[in-house]
Structure 1
């Protein structure tokens, strides 16, 4: 995969804490973090939108609390 396939998030100001996104087709979104560029998460636009919506709504704020 060439480097031009990935776009850095505009919210990633620090050089060592960047989120990169790639959309090779309309059904796939790939995410990676600059510290672990070989670890790639793959999802769909619908699933990513649901995650973002849940996060913004605060439904994940207490995730992991016993």
Structure 2
């Protein structure tokens, strides 16, 4: 599926500190979520279904993606 994402509202985390080395997120029709590299806004974007995004967000909240302690 090729979505036209040029008109969606992309945003960065408030914790990005103004850096240009971040990911940007957009909420898209149908509950989908787009993710792109802020350094390359015209480049490719990933689009996740609502359940996929919810599972990812839950994993982040639960520490599933934390680096192992050395």
Query: Shorter-chain TM-score category?
Result: 0.5 to 0.7
Structure 2 gap ranges (5+): 1-5
Give the C-alpha shift of residue 62 in structure 1: 5.8
TM-score, reference length from structure 2: 0.63
Superposition RMSD in Å: 2.3
Q: Which residue of 2 aligns with 1:20?
A: 24
- Runs of 4+ residues deviating >2 angstroms: 58-63
TM-score, reference length from structure 1: 0.65
- Superimposed CA distance per residue, residues 12-51 of structure 1 (whole angstroms, 9 cap, x where no aligned partner): 2132223221122133110112123212010022211211
Structure 1 gap ranges (5+): none
